[in-house]
Amino acid sequence: MTLEVNDIHCFYGTSHVLHGVSVAVEQGNLFAVLGRNGAGKTTLLRSIVGLNPPKRGRITFNGTDITALKPHERTRMGLSYVPQGREIIPDITVEENLQLALLGIGKKPNGIPSFVFDYFPGLRDLTARKGGVLSGGQQQQLAIARALAQEPELLLLDEPTEGLQPSVVEEIVQIVRRIDAERQCAILLIEQNLDFVRTVTRQFALMETGRIVVSGDIGELTDDLAREHLSV
């Protein structure tokens, strides 16, 4: 699996948000993108999954140019996205949320993979409960489970620890580590929690005003770099 984002430029209306961003994620990698609010991190993920396609530049996945593909076409190729704020459907059940994920890749809804409940045992007894009544931690687990049920080659996570208490963050750490160890799935994530990034990822890129300004192996993400590019 290889994702290559080459010199992309993205806009919201006339506002130029991404300026020549390039990122590469190889199979088995855990890659973090960090930056202050408004740096363009979420726009980068949205461009990769087709929700905000670039006006210039190119995105390839496993050697195929996906720049002009629709989001559902990219999902069926093996990209699954967990957006910021989870965006589970609150008025349907946990099981129905998972079934919709399967429909999204053209599979039968009664085929929820058994490993999903192995990774998220807390959801097993909640399948009949509506998504909107779950706690924040349970909703985040459902959002990741929904993406993982699609058995992606690349999982994109937008701030997976946002608003979660430390015990739930630790659960997310263990889940990400299991995905890395047991699934043929690379992970590209956006995150503000520096400890989380240093714990689970291997490579990083720092963004400022729509540009990648620093990138490297996670051991190179020093406190000085964090203060320079992440402090408010």
> What CATH number does residue 48 fall under?
3.40.50.300
Residue 58 lies in a domain: yes
Residue 43 lies in a domain: yes
* Percent helix / strand / coil, the chain, rounded to 5: 40, 30, 35
Residue 200 lies in a domain: yes
Residue 190 lies in a domain: yes
How much is the pLDDT for 232? 61
3-state secondary structure of 207: strand
CB 161 within 8 A of CB 196: yes
How much is the pLDDT for 163? 87
* Domain total in the chain: 1
* Angstrom distance (rounded) from CA 228 to CA 230: 6
User: What range defines the domain where residue 11 resides?
Assistant: 2-84+153-230
Amino acid identity at 107: K
Question: How is residue 222 annotated by DSSP?
Answer: -
- C-alpha closest to that of 138 among 164, 177, 112, 102: 164
Residue 201 lies in a domain: yes
Helix axes 136-148, 94-103, angle to 10 degrees: 30
How much is the pLDDT for 111? 84
Question: Which residues does the chain have with pLDDT short of 70?
Answer: 232
Q: Which two tokens stand for residue 123?
A: 């959801």
Matching residue, tokens 């461009």: 47
The Cα-based distances of 193 to 149, 230, 231 in angstroms read 26, 10, 12
Residue 20 lies in a domain: yes
Residue 29 lies in a domain: yes
Question: How is residue 79 annotated by DSSP?
Answer: E
The Cα-based distances of 186 to 23, 71, 99, 212 in angstroms read 14, 19, 23, 20
Chain-centroid distance, C-alpha 148:
11
- C-alpha closest to that of 230 among 177, 201, 190: 190
Residue 124 lies in a domain: no
The Cα-based distances of 78 to 19, 142, 184, 197 in angstroms read 26, 19, 11, 23
Amino acid identity at 179: I
